[in-house]
Amino acid sequence: MLTISVPATSANLGPGFDSIGIAVDMQLTLQVIQPSDHWRIDHPFGEEVPNDEHNLIIKTALTLEPKLKPQHLQMTSKIPLARGLGSSSTAIVAGLVLANELSGRQRSLDELLAVATRLEGHPDNVAPAILGGLVVATYVNEQVHAVKLPLPNLFASVYVPNEELLTSASREALPTSLPFKQAIAGSSVANTLVAALATQDWGVALPLLEADQFHERYRAKLVPALATIRETAHQLGIVGTYLSGAGPTVLTLGDYGQLTELQQKLQQNVALSGQYYLLPVDATGVKVQNS
């Protein structure tokens, strides 16, 4: 049986807008049950998500390999939809790897990353989903450049609100342009953040996660939990809270013990009634098993 596992991802890391992402240990798992006379995928998301060839996983697989023979698939996932944890990116990656395995074409991870980036539009989620760990990536002249940084010895406190926030709505909150001075300041913060991440200087990196100039201030009104969680963390002496992807998930990077204390404090706030996770970084990225 062919089994494919793809980790959830958290993008942006504050000022790393559309360019920095990290994989966390929350998995989408896809199994090939058997050949079928039509495409079918069993999944836990109800009728709002297609279970035929219109499903994003199958559509992506057929985009890469249109002549694939239909299969009966089973998908399980703890990654919530439309919450800023890369659910669509994990589906795209799963579909590409499925097509790669069923076709026997043996494309490299770099080749799959190039296709995934073209489909997704930017590499900040698909790159860590494929490569694992902490990845800085960009898409220039239809070429993907991805750099995997040393694995951070950190955990992620993840707060997932009950309400969806579609990426399209979150994008609409952004301005069409930034003042030159603000853009320079944002670039300066982002550049320094990458240097600190690369050298694992957490004393510099974690505060800079909260110094974004590109998107958080415009999306904050859509995600009131961001300010609440950041303020609570600061009361405990914890920095490193940011809006995950386009939101509404809020993520804090830090020490396991500190983050446990943070979650205990946050759960006392009745306004924060969503789901809590305390996750390690996924070092591997997409995994394939044949049994």
> Which residues are documented as binding site for ATP?
80-90
Assign 218 to helix, strand or coil: helix
What gap in Å lies between CA 25 and CA 28, rounded to an integer?
Answer: 10
What gap in Å lies between CA 288 and CA 277, rounded to an integer?
Answer: 25
Structure tokens at 47: 């009728």
Burial 219-254 (b: 16+ CB within 10 A, else e): bbebbebbebbbebbeeeebbbbbbbbbbbbbbbbb
Structure tokens at 238: 């914890």
The one-letter code for the residue type at 167 is: T
In the annotated binding site, the residues are: 80-90
Per the CB < 8 A criterion, the answer to whether 280 and 22 are in contact is no
- What secondary structure does DSSP assign to 97-151, as a single string? HHHHHHHT----HHHHHHHHHHHHSSSTTHHHHHH-SEEEEEEETTEEEEEEEPP
What gap in Å lies between CA 87 and CA 3, rounded to an integer?
Answer: 18
